């Protein structure tokens, strides 16, 4: 199945927007997130020595999401703002919130961690859908 025409500016802009959103989200909720995770900042940075790897992975993941979200929106003819946001919400419910809730339940993670992490991905998807719909094809 060939990919639809790709607006790389929209993909890059949605990736950057999602990445910046994540930085702001976890900057504001960092202490609550660490508490919900049950770890200290030192425990998370141990062995990484300020490695950029988690940030590289996050950026690559968000670029992948932006690319395929654009593909889906084009195929569904959902490039209007309302349609794009609705699609992002449905995708979040089906493919992020549900599986994350299952994983966190089996990991015995706190519900607060699920809310913080799932809220981040909801914001990313909605923001990426917004940017893609505004920049368009």
Say if 59 falls within a structural domain. Answer: yes
Say if 129 falls within a structural domain. Answer: yes
Average pLDDT of 36-57?
82
Query: Using CB atoms within 10 A of its CB, is residue 127 exposed (0-12), middle (13-18) or buried (19+)?
Result: buried
pLDDT of residue 2: 66
68/53 Cα distance (integer angstroms): 23
Say if 2 falls within a structural domain. Answer: no
Please determine, for residue 5, whether its predicted confidence score (pLDDT) is greater than 80: no
pLDDT of residue 49: 60
Under the banding of pLDDT at 50, 70 and 90, the label for residue 94 is very high
Average pLDDT of 76-85?
93
pLDDT of residue 46: 75
Say if 95 falls within a structural domain. Answer: yes
Average pLDDT of 27-47?
88
User: Domain span at residue 92?
Assistant: 8-135
How many CB atoms are located within 10 Å of the residue 10 CB? Answer: 23
Please determine, for residue 45, whether its predicted confidence score (pLDDT) is greater than 70: yes
Say if 109 falls within a structural domain. Answer: yes
pLDDT of residue 118: 97
pTM of the model: 0.91
Say if 3 falls within a structural domain. Answer: no
Tally of domains in the chain: 1
21/25 Cα distance (integer angstroms): 6
Say if 1 falls within a structural domain. Answer: no
Average pLDDT of 69-94?
94
Say if 56 falls within a structural domain. Answer: yes
First to last CA, the chain: 19
Of all residues in the chain, the percent with pLDDT exceeding 70 is 93
């Amino acid at each position: 199945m060939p990919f639809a025409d790709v607006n790389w500016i929209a993909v890059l802009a949605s990736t950057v927007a999602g990445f910046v959103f994540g930085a702001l989200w976890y900057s504001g909720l960092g202490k609550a997130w660490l508490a919900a995770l049950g770890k200290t900042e030192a425990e998370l940075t141990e062995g990484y020595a300020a490695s950029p790897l988690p940030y590289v992975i996050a950026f690559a993941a968000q670029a992948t999401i932006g690319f395929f979200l654009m593909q889906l929106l084009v195929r569904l003819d959902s490039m209007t703002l309302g349609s794009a946001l609705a699609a992002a919400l449905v995708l979040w419910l089906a493919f992020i919130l549900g599986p994350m809730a299952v994983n966190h339940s089996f990991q015995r993670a706190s519900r607060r961690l699920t809310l913080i992490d799932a809220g981040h991905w909801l914001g990313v998807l909605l923001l990426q859908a917004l940017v893609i719909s505004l920049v368009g094809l």
